[in-house]
A and B are shown apart, each in its own frame.
Chain A
Amino acid sequence: MNHSAIGVGRTRVPLGTVFALMLVLLYFPIALLFVFSFNQNTVLSFPLRELTLDWYAEVFSDDALLAAARNSLVVGAASATVATALGFAVSVVFVRLRSALRIPLLALAVLPLIVPFIVLGVSLFLLFSFLDVPRSLATVAAGHSILGLPFATLILFARMSAVDPQLEDAAMDLGASYATTLRRIVLPLMGPSLLSAWLTCFIVSFDEVAVALFLAGGDPTFPVFLYGQLRFAQRLPVLIAMAVMLMIGTVTLTLAAFVLARRRP
Chain B
Amino acid sequence: MLGRRAFLRVLALPPYLWLAALLVAPIVLVVLISLRPEPGPVDFGDPWNPSLIQYWRILETPAYLRQLGISALMALIVALAATVLAYPLAYFLAFRAGDRASLYLVLLLVPFAVSFLLRVMAWRLMLGQEGALNTLLQSVGLTDEPLDLLLYSREAVVLTLIYVWVPFAALPIYAAMGRIDRRQLEAAADLGAGPWTRFVGVTLPLSLPGAVAALFMVFIPTVGEYVTPRLVGGSETYMYGQLIQDFFGRAASWATGGAAAVIMLVLTAVLILAGTLAVRTRVAT
> Which A residues lie at the B interface, using CB under 8 A?
3, 5-6, 9-11, 13, 15-16, 18-19, 22-23, 25-27, 29-30, 32-33, 36, 43-47, 82, 85-87, 89-90, 92-93, 96-97, 99, 101-102, 105, 108-109, 111-120, 122-127, 129-130, 142-143, 145-146, 149, 168, 172, 177-179, 203, 207, 209-210, 213-214, 223, 226-227, 230, 236, 240, 243, 246-247, 250-251, 253-255, 258, 262
> Nearest Cβ in chain A — how far from B85, in angstroms?
7
Q: Say whether B92 contacts A6, CB under 8 Å.
A: no
> Which one of B6-14, B50-58, B60-68 is at the A interface?
B6-14
Q: How far is the CA of A259 from the CA of B130 in the complex (A)?
A: 40
| Inter-chain contact A116/B116, CB cutoff 8 Å | no
Q: Is the CB of B254 within 8 A of A126?
A: yes
Majority SS of interface residues in chain A? helix
The count of chain B contact residues (Cβ–Cβ below 8 Å) is 94
Check if B121 sits within 8 Å of A19, measured CB to CB. Answer: no
Nearest-CB residue, chain A, relative to B183 = A3
Q: A30-B118, A119-B244 are in contact. List 15 more A-B contacts (CB 8 A).
A: A30-B114, A33-B118, A33-B125, A45-B130, A116-B264, A122-B30, A123-B261, A127-B29, A146-B18, A207-B115, A210-B225, A223-B116, A227-B117, A230-B231, A240-B118
Residue of A22, A111, A129, A240 near B23 (CB, 8 A) is A111
A246–B216 Cα distance when bound, in Å, is: 29
**In the complex, what's the smallest C-beta–C-beta distance from A224 to chain B, in angstroms?**
10
- The answer to whether B22 touches A126 (Cβ under 8 A) is no
Interface residues of B (CB under 8 A from A): 1-5, 7-9, 11-12, 14-16, 18-19, 22-27, 29-30, 33, 44, 85, 88-89, 91-93, 96, 102, 104-119, 121-123, 125-126, 130, 132, 135-136, 139, 163, 166-167, 182, 185-186, 189, 194-196, 198-199, 216-217, 220-221, 223-227, 231, 241, 244-245, 248, 254, 257-258, 261, 264-265, 268-269, 272
A101 touches B12 (CB 8 A): yes
A263 to B56, CA, bound (A): 53
The residue that A142 contacts in the complex, of B22, B24, B113, with Cβ under 8 A, is B22
CB distance from B72 to the nearest CB of A (A): 11
Contact call B18/A122, Cβ cutoff below 8 A: no
Known: A90-B15, A108-B19. A29 touches B122 (CB 8 A): yes
A251:B113 contact, CB within 8 angstroms: yes
State whether A11 touches B199 (Cβ < 8 A).
yes
Contact A240 B116 (CB under 8 A): no
Q: Least Cβ distance of A22 to chain B in Å?
A: 6
